[in-house]
Amino acid sequence: MPITEFLARNAKLYRQETCLTEINLDLQDRHNVIWHEYELIENNPAGEYRREMTWGVFEEKANRFANLLLKRGIKKGDKVAILMMNCLEWLPIYFGILKTGAIAVPLNFRYSAEEIKYCLGLSDTIALIFGPEFIGRLESIYDQIPKVKMLLYAGEGRPSFAESYDRLTANYSSEDPKIQMTDDDDAVIYFSSGTTGFPKAILHTHRSLMSACYTEQKHHGQNREDNFLCIPPLYHTGAKMHWFGSLLSGSKAVLLRGIRPDWILKTVSEEKISNVWLLVPWAQDILDAIDRGDVKLDDYDLSHWRLMHIGAQPVPPSLIHRWKTYFPNHLYDTNYGLSESIGPGCVHLGTENIHKVGAIGVPGYGWEVNIVDEFRIPVAQGQVGELRVKGPGVMKCYYNDPEATAAVLKDGWLLTGDMARMDEDGFIYLVDRKKDVIISGGENLYPVQIEDFLRAHASIKDVAVIGLPDKRLGEIAAAIIELKTGHQCSEEDIEAFCTSLPRYKRPKTIIFDQVPRNPTGKIEKPRLREKYGAMSLVASQMEN
């Protein structure tokens, strides 16, 4: 059934109960309060605000937006894009689009104007709703997106080229439009993370969304008493699909605008959070803040916090071992997925398998997984090959790109582009991205393995290993290292630390710099290759 039916069910059963809370602890970001009919609790010294929404209001707002879109000619199969920061408005807008039978198209809030234009064109979007942070970007391209017939603005200070979402929706019915949909109807277009060039448009059906609900709830056991802390961006499959567990169980969730360790711990404490999904850098920041004494765990009531899980990138085992020293009673799970498989869950560690930390885990609920060679033949246990997955959440296609679709969808299986191996117990370990493998002197080097090793160094906050061109070996491994605040380290220190690595795996170049990550936590290696590959090429030419 369409996922919108869960919202209607919750509104009927739990109408007056809070479902979503938005919290912003940043005084500088207060201009983004845009729905004034919600309760606003101010604390002037801290500059914070907190807003709540009930299941009943959530349903009414989604219905009003759906009826507006239908009245304005939006029909089943049309594409409606969302370009907004995380806020209380986001999910009702998303569900309003789905209720029309149209296809929701969430956009990355970090996209440049050119990337926004590209994605709107690629997806055949005909309507766009955007927030105040994007006025400048939209102003520079609104006359260059002829397919987009309707621009709606959510917020104060409406630009002249857009209509007011707030004013228009207030005039439409809050009754469900009751558009007939099936599981096989198209529902959403997400975009690949863009770490390998311009993003691809990933088309999913309502069946995919429903599978995410069931997989998430099965893995993490959300019930009516839970309260999920959602920090990552809602435009991405990760955060939203984890929230789908709250939707299925009719439980609460909190949208926190900010990633400071003290803000996270304060919110967990005051909102009685039970379930938190973190990215690796945020977990690292919390641990570093505790180590430095910037936050003291005794200042917070963390007794309700039962589960911390991480996804979107390989998780260093050293990080989780360190986490358990401070939070020994937390359940922990690793989630693996990609937007093409509707986000997290096609592989997961499982809270009962903490002894296998370092693995991404076993097939998720409803999923099949294996590891194959270049001819799509399963490899022997322990050998490295490409991970492929099969299940109800596999994308329908890359929209408007049959060639790219054919390259990754084979007989119902999705080739992930991730290199992996399986141990004797059936647990899967990521080795690296297929495109990130470094071939140095005929040897395959897997950067993730080297990164995991280096992250165990007491002074290293983050690290990225990339291949740089080399006249003799073809490529060499270069480690870009970001040090913890207040720590000092030299190239010689790193080289000495790496002596326990096999010689061919040791980084040949050490660079101290920040490690760039996209909003979903993935290292932006193309940026690093572009930056340091050019420098390496110049150095090589000078040597010649």
Given a cut of 90, is residue 39 above it in pLDDT?
no
| pLDDT of the residue at 243 | 94
Looking at per-residue pLDDT, the higher value among 427 and 541 belongs to 427
> What does pLDDT average to over the chain?
88
Residue 444 has pLDDT above 90, yes or no: no
Lowest-pLDDT range of 179-188, 231-240, 490-499: 231-240
Decide if pLDDT at 452 tops 70.
Answer: yes
pLDDT class of 527 with cuts at 50, 70, 90 = confident
Identity of residue 294: D
Q: Is pLDDT above 50 for 467?
A: yes
Which region among 15-29, 94-108, 163-177, 333-347 has the lowest average model confidence (pLDDT)? 15-29
Q: What is the per-residue pLDDT for 193?
A: 64
At residue 474, does pLDDT exceed 50? yes
pLDDT (0 to 100) of residue 33: 40
Q: What is the pLDDT of residue 196?
A: 45
Check whether 541 has a pLDDT greater than 50: no
| Confidence check: pLDDT of 509 > 70 | yes
- Dist. CA 170–CA 151, nearest whole Å: 17
Would you state the pLDDT for residue 525? 81
Q: 3 exposed, middle or buried (CB, 10 Å; 0-12, 13-18, 19+)?
A: buried
Give pLDDT, residue 543: 47
Q: Please state, for a pLDDT cut of 70, what percent of the chain lies above it.
A: 90
CA distances from 465 to 37, 242, 444, 445, 533 (A): 49, 29, 13, 10, 12
The answer to whether 276 and 245 have CB atoms below 8 angstroms apart is no
Quick one: pLDDT at residue 500?
Answer: 85
Residue 534 has pLDDT above 70, yes or no: no
Q: Identify the weakest region by mean pLDDT among 182-191, 307-316, 493-502.
A: 307-316
Report the half-sphere exposure of 35 (CA within 13 A, side-chain side): 22
Share of the chain above pLDDT 90, in %: 67
Strand partners, 463: 481
- Angle made by CA atoms 238, 242, 243, in degrees to the nearest 5: 115
C-beta neighbour count of 332 within 10 angstroms: 19
pLDDT at position 351: 92
The Cα 384–Cα 527 span in angstroms is 27
Asked if residue 45 has pLDDT above 80, the reply is no
* pLDDT score for 258: 87
Q: How far is CA 442 from the centre of its chain?
A: 35
Exposure of 305 by Cβ count < 10 A (0-12 exposed, 13-18 middle, 19+ buried)? buried
Q: What is the pLDDT of residue 37?
A: 38
Question: Given a cut of 90, is residue 511 above it in pLDDT?
Answer: yes
In this structure, CATH architecture of domain 306-433: Roll (2.30)
Q: pLDDT tens digit string along 373-429?
A: 989 999 999 999 999 999 999 999 999 999 999 999 999 999 998 889 999 999 999
Same fold, 4-258 and 306-433: no
Q: Which of 543, 542, 423, 443 is nearest to 502 (CA)?
A: 443
pLDDT value of position 40: 39
pLDDT for the residue 536: 55
Which residues pair with residue 388 across a beta bridge?
370, 415
Q: Where are the domains of the chain?
A: 4-258, 306-433, 437-543
pLDDT at 316: 78
Quick: pLDDT tens for 269-328. 999 999 999 988 789 889 999 999 999 999 999 999 999 998 766 677 888 999 999 999
Q: Which CATH architecture has domain 437-543?
A: 2-Layer Sandwich (3.30)
The pLDDT score that the predictor gives to residue 208 is 95
Q: Taking 50 as the threshold, does the pLDDT of residue 488 lie above it?
A: yes
Tokens 């439980």 belong to 251
pLDDT of residue 424: 95
Give the CATH architecture of domain 4-258.
3-Layer(aba) Sandwich (3.40)
Please give the pLDDT value at position 542.
40
Residue 252 · residue 222 · CB < 8 Å: no
Dist CA 431 CA 447 (whole Å) = 8
Q: Which of 89, 145, 150, 85 is nearest to 121 (CA)?
A: 145
SS3 at position 279: coil
Q: Which residue bears the tokens 């929209």?
A: 399
Both tokens of residue 437? Answer: 């493998």
